[in-house]
Amino acid sequence: MIASTLILLVVVGATPFAIARPAALEDGRALEIKNMFEDWAAKHGKSYSSDWEKARRLMIFSDTLAYIEKHNAQPNTTFTLGLNKFSDLTNAEFRAMHVGKFKRPRYQDRLPAEDEDVDVSSLPTSLDWRQKGAVTPIKDQGDCGSCWAFSAIASIESAHFLATKELVSLSEQQLMDCDTVDAGCDGGLMETAFKFVVKNGGVTTEAAYPYTGSVGSCNANKAKNKVAEITGFKVVTEDSADALMKAVSKTPVTVSICGSDENFQNYKSGILSGKCDDSLDHGVLLIGYGTEGGMPYWIIKNSWGTSWGEDGFMKIERKDGDGMCGMNGDSSYPTTS
């Protein structure tokens, strides 16, 4: 029998701690939510070290579900939130594990952008580099702040395809182990990753140097076969949607964004819009743009697996200035000639 109010008493050593269940577990939905949690945990291969930890994760899951349902019940929202593999994490835990642990201050330490004529009138009204075969499948950075490596490698994969017509999955782990300027799971910058690849004379394949989700010693034997080379990179003019649109019309572009926003964390489908922090703490790949229901949007490729978003991808509102979630504030792309 489930009581109307449940209190869990947990003993750590000899000290009891009372943990009150959230409101969602105090009503008739308690059993339904518990069953949802069990199904969700099985789907995502979740296991917990103790009954106490499992109960704590159930409470967080319940709070996440309430947040999702409240948003999805709003009229005229342009996007839907949903459960994913992060649904048993608080936003603070999520920030600590899945975005970069150090951030570039906006408008500081930026290389100058090349002056370009930014006339987008001749560009197509929509673009999706996936349709042109230039984007590798979604990858998963795991519990590691290595988004910088995934964003940089994804852009090099696309640049290599455009130069050779061969789409090859390249090695994030080589950057993790061998790029000593960036900080592995503690974060990094796509531009310094590009500098490493240029200096190194290229990067090897994911098959030759597979991802482990942690930093190891640089393995020269695994890294010796340099499959993809770049000659440098270009920086996109900041806070200009037109400049970013022109850049992505040529090649997929690395973008810094606020990935720690709670709506970003729980995004499922549609066009992310509305309020969002512009703290740049996550790296993604911009792969296209379009318009839906009168709202212009960008298409981004993430590195959180396929259970997040639209099978790992996202549509996010396209607007000028610093952009949605700081989208227009820090972007660059590799060059091959």
Domains of the chain: 93-335 (3.90.70.10)
Given 84, 266, 302, 328, the catalytic residue: 302
* 302 catalytic residue (yes or no): yes
DSSP symbol at 269 = E
What pLDDT was estimated at residue 303?
Answer: 97
* 282 catalytic residue (yes or no): yes
Does the predicted model carry a pTM greater than 0.85?
yes
And the tokens for 209?
Answer: 């140097």
With 0-12 / 13-18 / 19 or more C-beta atoms within 10 angstroms meaning exposed / middle / buried, residue 286 is buried
Rounded to whole angstroms, the Cα distance separating 171 from 292 reads 35
Rounded to whole angstroms, the Cα distance separating 173 from 209 reads 6
Distances (CA, A) of 252 to 19, 269, 314: 48, 21, 14
Residue ranges of the chain whose pLDDT lies below 50: 1-20, 23-25, 102, 105-108
**CA distance between the termini of the chain:** 69
Rounded to whole angstroms, the Cα distance separating 65 from 311 reads 20
What pLDDT was estimated at residue 113?
Answer: 62
Given 84, 98, 185, 282, the catalytic residue: 282
Rounded to whole angstroms, the Cα distance separating 271 from 288 reads 13
* 98 catalytic residue (yes or no): no
What pLDDT was estimated at residue 26?
Answer: 54
pLDDT digits 0-9 by tens, 155-175: 999 999 999 999 999 999 999
Rounded to whole angstroms, the Cα distance separating 187 from 98 reads 10
And the tokens for 294?
Answer: 């009168």
Given 147, 178, 276, 325, the catalytic residue: 147
Distances (CA, A) of 37 to 8, 43, 64, 82, 300: 17, 10, 11, 13, 29
What pLDDT was estimated at residue 99?
Answer: 83
